[in-house]
Structure 1
Amino acid sequence: MIHQYKNNGYDIIMDINSGAVHVVDDILYDAVKVLDENEEFKEIIKGDFTDSYKEKFSDEIKNNLKDKYSHDDLCEAIGEIYNLIDDETLFSKDLYEGIVENLPSMQTVVKALCLHVTHDCNLACKYCFAEEGEYHGERGLMSLEVGKKALDFIIENSGSRKNLEVDFFGGEPLMNWEVVKELVKYGRQREKEANKNFRFTLTTNGMLLNDEVMEFLNKEMSNVVISLDGRKEVNDRMRPRRGGQGSYDVIVPKFQKLAESRNQTDYYIRGTFTRYNLDFSEDVKHFADLGFKQISIEPVVAPKEADYAIREEDVNKILDEYDNLAKEFIKRRKEGKGFNFFHFMIDLDQGPCIYKRMSGCGAGSEYLAVTPWGDLYPCHQFVGNTDFLLGNVDEGIKRTDLVSKFKKCNVYSRSECKDCFAKFYCSGGCAANSFNFTGDINSTYEIGCKMQRKRVECSIMLKADEAFSE
């Protein structure tokens, strides 16, 4: 399986199963396309590609392209293609579908927790899936006792894994700041006793940031996610305070100070774009102009009836916007004003293991969310939906059937993913988004898939541009 596309002047061929990426000239690009459009070739290439077959398809390429390229140039391109096939970096075989059945039987260890230390918030974001922190239930703060049980739970259920991740989440976690500090202290004590290593992170809207909080974050948090949607008018429309006032003027100076205090590393400024700002590349540029170097902006996930929800008719505009952003990314990099954009970060050499690339984030098995009352859910987006209540920190996992169902989610269990070129980059996408839009965690959210495919294409083009620039 391959994927061919042109972007920003580059002819790119991706070999999906091997992970190889080829930046080629027009003649090789067109010759490969002749092969990829031939159904007989695609069947034959699954077996032994003998010399007689090579001769047969060489003739087909030459006949198709003889009016466009010279005979000698075509022969040279065909030779290169067959060398790549022999090297198993073009039209390579799928070696993974046969091992995917091992996933459900692999030992489950909990590696990460999303710790909801608050179900309350001091903002009233209009698109908030957590309903201003309430998660379809009541407001509340996690007690220190429940938080300690959650840390004990992950230690006890992590097997031999040493590195564990805990994200302090909400609502707004700084509304329960004293408990956050005490839990970090408890975690540092327990990690020594249990021979573990906690990597703590925190997600905040910034309203309660101050020097004391920043000092603690810089000492104890491996990463901090700070929420801002972009330009002042964009942010304040969707992220007002409870009284209706905007939040931009309060939080931007604090975020700038925090980013500088962390030497512009180990944080993300994270925005959400909606139907109101489909020109979201302008918001990314605004982040960069404010001095931020670690940037993420995500598409809103909202019910179809919401006026700010992304619709099918918006998709082409969004895809163009990612292309615009990629070009701006190159421009600023060459000017010495570069930044990192989360969705354009791709590792073609040392990416995740194949099991992770097939199965994704591990929600429901390796990654769990904990409510203020100690209830366990597959991830933060399922919190409040009692159909997905897995258990609690006192008694552990009770719904082993649900855990098994989540473990079976992978790029081969989703029919829409099997023939998608991006499957090993998105790992099948978000189970919560699939459920919210289709009612099935083993389905896909098609609008999200289209955006993901474009982001992968842009990411690989940027890698190509960087290599050729060097």
Structure 2
Amino acid sequence: MIHRYKNNGYNIVLDVNSGSVHVVDDIVYDIVGCLEEKMSEAAILEKFKNQYKEEDIRTAIEECRELEEAQMLFTNDIYENAIESFKDRPTVVKALCLHIAHDCNLACRYCFAEEGEYHGRRALMTYEVGKQALDFLIANSGNRKNLEVDFFGGEPLMNWNVVKELVAYGRSQEKIHNKHFRFTLTTNGVLLDDDIMEFANEEMDNVVLSIDGRKEVHDFMRPFRKGKGSYDLVVPKFQKFADSRGQQKYYARGTFTHHNLDFSEDVLHLADLGFEQISVEPVVADEKEEYAIKKEDIPKICEEYDKLAKEMIRRNKEGKGFNFFHFMIDLTGGPCVYKRLSGCGSGTEYLAVTPWGDLYPCHQFVGEEEFLMGNVWDGVKKPEISCQFKNCNVYAKEKCKNCFARFYCSGGCAANSYNFTGRIDDVYEIGCELQRKRVECAIMIKAAMAEEE
């Protein structure tokens, strides 16, 4: 399978199954398309006889044939026949999302957690529940040494003492069980102070700082409950925090909506504030919500991704580069085959834990009772739910089979699919359109950067 496209003056050919990327001239670009359609050499010569020299056409065809022999063009899909063995692969739990606080001090308009309540009651996780969650993770992690625990909410800093106690407990168990905990934290910054920053810099492998971009955008979508904006309070704290971490191991993470389709300006605003690790993602919301991304918004959003990609190249050349999460693609190694086929591991390797210890496939399924899998004391009591997620891969989704981006998104988010289609093995089509565009931009950026080397 081949994907050809033009972006920012580059002719790009992606061989989907091998992951090989070729930046080519016009003649090779055209001929690759003909070869994909199984056109004969004679037919190709006839088609382009008035456009290119015969010698150049023959040379281009030969170059394509050489790439094909080198397994870099028109390669076969070697994964589809092996998917059954991947589905039968034993899995262990390697990551937990601890809902340390089902409560929040902001009232973000787009919050899927309903101000931290998750379709239920406000609650803070106790140390006892959190300790049992860590014990559950250790007991169900098999031989895996590195384990991940994300302190999530609501707003985790509203239960900060328990966070610290759980980190201390986790550290105390590492040598005993030959494990290493990688703790992460997601915060809106309202309660962030110097002591928390110091602790986080010592113990948190990554921190997500929630900020949407420009002041007017952020304050409109992320106000306090009485309506006052939070931008002026959190920005100085986030800037200090990012600098204290050496501009590494964090993300300034925002959400854009129908109200700021010019979101590239928000990304660049964050870069101008000094943030070097940025992720601004499209909101996923019911189409009835006034802020929801609509199908008619897609052309504008794609235009913004192109605009952002070009500006990132320009800034990088000037020594003012920054990372944008959705444009970060590893073309040499990338994720393992299992991850490329099956995604994030929700429901199998990654689970969410509520403040009272219930287990769900991920944080976005919390409160959906049909996905209640068990609890941290009794373990997974509904293995059939895990099986559903284990069988959810790019070959189980009809709409993924002919998509060039399938090995980059691994079939997309199961929660988004469920919320829009009622099935975890379908896709959220707006998300697919935007994902394809992001992949194209990311590869183009790689091509531009390679040209500079």
> TM-score, normalization: structure 2?
0.99
Structure 2 equivalent of residue 68 of structure 1:
51
User: Aligned to 1:292, which of 268, 275, 285?
Assistant: 275
The residue type equivalent to 1:10 in the other structure is: Y
Distance 1:332 1:104 in 2: 43
Distance 1:417 1:180 in 2: 39
Distance 2:246 2:136 in 1: 34
Distance 1:124 1:105 in 2: 43
Distance 1:6 1:192 in 2: 53
The residue type equivalent to 1:21 in the other structure is: V
- Matched position secondary structure for 1:403: helix
Runs of 4+ more than 4 Å apart? none
Structure 1, residues 350-371: CA drift from partner, whole Å, max 9, x if none?
Answer: 2111111000000000000000
Structure 1 position 357 matched with structure 2 position 309: no
Structure 1 equivalent of residue 235 of structure 2:
252
The residue type equivalent to 1:215 in the other structure is: E
Distance 1:167 1:61 in 2: 55
Aligned length: 453
In the TM superposition, residue 60 of structure 1 has moved relative to its aligned partner by 1.8
Structure 1 position 137 matched with structure 2 position 99: no
Structure 1 equivalent of residue 14 of structure 2:
14
Structure 1, residues 260-298: CA drift from partner, whole Å, max 9, x if none?
Answer: 000100000000000000000000010001000000001
Structure 1 position 164 matched with structure 2 position 147: yes
Structure 2 equivalent of residue 336 of structure 1:
319
User: Aligned to 1:390, which of 373, 390, 415?
Assistant: 373
Worse-superposed segment, 117-126 or 97-106: 97-106
Q: 1:28-427 alignment to 2 at 5 Å? A: 28-36=28-36, 38=37, 41=38, 57-427=40-410
- Matched position secondary structure for 2:40: helix
CA contact (8 A) 1:364 1:378 kept: yes
In the TM superposition, residue 103 of structure 1 has moved relative to its aligned partner by 2.5
> TM-score, normalization: structure 1?
0.96
Distance 2:41 2:176 in 1: 65
Structure 1 equivalent of residue 431 of structure 2:
448
- Matched position secondary structure for 1:180: helix
In the TM superposition, residue 246 of structure 1 has moved relative to its aligned partner by 0.4
Distance 1:156 1:104 in 2: 22
Structure 1 equivalent of residue 448 of structure 2:
465
The residue type equivalent to 1:435 in the other structure is: Y
The residue type equivalent to 1:25 in the other structure is: D
Distance 1:22 1:57 in 2: 22
The residue type equivalent to 1:424 in the other structure is: F
In the TM superposition, residue 61 of structure 1 has moved relative to its aligned partner by 1.4
CA contact (8 A) 1:365 1:407 kept: yes
In the TM superposition, residue 160 of structure 1 has moved relative to its aligned partner by 0.5
CA contact (8 A) 1:34 1:64 kept: no
The residue type equivalent to 1:453 in the other structure is: R
CA contact (8 A) 1:416 1:444 kept: yes
Structure 1, residues 113-132: CA drift from partner, whole Å, max 9, x if none?
Answer: 10000000000000000000
Distance 1:376 1:64 in 2: 61
The residue type equivalent to 1:147 in the other structure is: G
The residue type equivalent to 1:20 in the other structure is: S
Taking only the aligned residue pairs, the percentage that are identical comes to 66
The residue type equivalent to 1:294 in the other structure is: Q
- Matched position secondary structure for 1:98: helix
In the TM superposition, residue 104 of structure 1 has moved relative to its aligned partner by 2.6
The residue type equivalent to 1:383 in the other structure is: V
Distance 1:150 1:301 in 2: 29
The residue type equivalent to 2:203 in the other structure is: E
- Matched position secondary structure for 1:268: strand
- Aligned CA RMSD, in angstroms, stands at 0.7
Structure 1, residues 328-372: CA drift from partner, whole Å, max 9, x if none?
Answer: 101110111110000010001121111110000000000000000
CA contact (8 A) 1:103 1:408 kept: no
Structure 1 position 25 matched with structure 2 position 8: no
Q: Show structure 1 runs of 5+ residues with no match.
A: 42-55
Structure 1, residues 364-406: CA drift from partner, whole Å, max 9, x if none?
Answer: 0000000000000000000000010000001000110010010
Distance 1:352 1:229 in 2: 28
Structure 2 equivalent of residue 49 of structure 1:
none
- Matched position secondary structure for 1:336: coil
